[in-house]
């Protein structure tokens, strides 16, 4: 345990800074602050080797624990309130985004693992999806940090673009909120865009985004089953679990939140833990993003990220317009 202490201490310091920034600037997500801090720190100074084990632990184990507590944000009744047409749209966004991005990755002759990570990050829930899927696929560390960096870059660009495009297209605030929730990568980025749109858009944006987050469970389960069927195993010879433990924990938290009247203090503590754990994980992931390595990966990941962003946003926009006509 002692070997993890220096890196975990560094992550803890980053979490404190990120959450302090959020106190004074409520519109700025601690997760975004943490990942930007990680990227900045690792590219400005050379981190001691002693911090590596703790940072790796944060970016993998703590992230999955954070995903478990993320389940406390989801209430099934809120998601069902979107209506059947919008729920079908959300399935199409995730399914179409995944299949379309992977197909475009093949056309670009990219590694299948790299294309899949980008597809999951852009179609489901950003960096958390990238890291969650990485555990049940054969992916290089470079592919993971590249996908995370692309989520940060393109998701941040979407924050002003979706509200601006919504206004140009003459969408109602409700439609704009659903489009933001259906097309932007990270929850924090959705909240920022929904806040810009205003007029009740934020609530709808978050519910639609959380419905996409819920799709992480079946996607990871399907990918895990695929890995087992193909006979892939980890370095120690173990096959991927039928359903990863953290996904089971995530679903249990969703069921708990949806069926029991949990006290406000429990929800507040759960939200605090989720934010702290995911912020630590985002800082850890950010520490793996070397700008010089991004330059060396070439243009193809950026081309795929651009195409995937347009694809997911296009499916979401068409779906929102159709569901509004059917409502």
Give residue-wise pLDDT tens across range 267-311.
Answer: 999 999 999 998 998 898 888 888 887 777 788 999 999 999 999
Residue 260 is given by DSSP the state: S
Helix (H, G, I), strand (E, B) or coil at 201: helix
| pLDDT class of 240 with cuts at 50, 70, 90 | low
DSSP 218-262: HHHHHHHHHHHHTT---TTSPPPPSS-HHHHHHHHHHHHHHHS--
The pLDDT score that the predictor gives to residue 172 is 93
CA 27 to chain centre: 18
DSSP 152-184: HHHHHHHHHHHHHHHHHHT--HHHHHHHHHHH-
What's the residue count for the chain?
327
Q: Please provide the average confidence, as pLDDT, over all residues in the chain.
A: 88
pLDDT digits (tens, 9 = 90+) for 144-170: 888 988 988 898 899 899 999 999 999
d(CA 18, CA 10): 12
| pLDDT class of 236 with cuts at 50, 70, 90 | low
The pLDDT score that the predictor gives to residue 109 is 92
Residue 249 is given by DSSP the state: H
Q: Cα dist. 102→16, 258, 319 in Å?
A: 37, 33, 21
The more confident residue out of 190 and 131 is 190
- Predicted TM-score (pTM) of the model is 0.84
Number of Cβ within 10 Å of residue 78's Cβ equals 16
Residue 61 is given by DSSP the state: I
Of 130-144, 168-182, 186-200, the one with minimum mean pLDDT is: 130-144
The pLDDT score that the predictor gives to residue 316 is 97
């Amino acid at each position: 345990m002692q070997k993890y202490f220096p890196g975990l201490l560094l992550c803890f310091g980053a979490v404190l800074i990120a959450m302090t920034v959020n106190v004074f600037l409520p519109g700025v997500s601690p997760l975004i602050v943490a990942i930007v801090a990680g990227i900045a720190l690792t590219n400005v100074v050379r981190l001691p080797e002693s911090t590596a084990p703790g940072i790796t632990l944060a970016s993998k184990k703590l992230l999955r624990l954070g995903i478990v507590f993320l389940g406390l944000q989801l209430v099934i009744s809120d998601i069902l309130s979107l209506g059947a047409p919008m729920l079908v749209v959300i399935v199409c966004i995730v399914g179409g985004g995944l299949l379309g991005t992977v197909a475009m990755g093949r056309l670009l002759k990219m590694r299948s693992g790299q294309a899949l990570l980008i597809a999951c990050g852009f179609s489901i829930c950003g960096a958390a999806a990238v890291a969650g899927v990485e555990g049940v696929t054969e992916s290089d560390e470079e592919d993971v940090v590249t996908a995370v960096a692309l989520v940060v870059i393109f998701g941040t660009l979407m924050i002003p673009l979706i509200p601006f495009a919504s206004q140009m297209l003459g969408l109602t605030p409700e439609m704009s909120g659903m489009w933001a929730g259906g097309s932007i990568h990270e929850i924090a980025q959705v909240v920022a865009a929904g806040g810009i749109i205003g007029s009740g858009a934020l609530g709808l944006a978050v519910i639609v985004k959380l419905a996409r987050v819920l799709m992480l469970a079946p996607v990871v389960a399907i990918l895990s089953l695929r890995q087992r069927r193909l006979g892939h195993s980890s370095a120690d010879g173990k096959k991927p679990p039928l359903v990863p433990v953290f996904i089971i924990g995530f679903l249990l938290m969703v069921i708990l939140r949806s069926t029991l009247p949990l006290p406000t203090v429990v929800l507040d503590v759960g939200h605090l833990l989720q934010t702290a754990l995911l912020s630590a994980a985002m800082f850890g992931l950010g520490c793996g993003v070397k700008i010089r390595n991004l330059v060396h990966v070439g243009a193809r990941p950026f081309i795929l990220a651009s195409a995937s962003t347009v694809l997911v946003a296009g499916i979401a926009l068409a779906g929102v317009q159709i569901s509004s006509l059917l409502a």
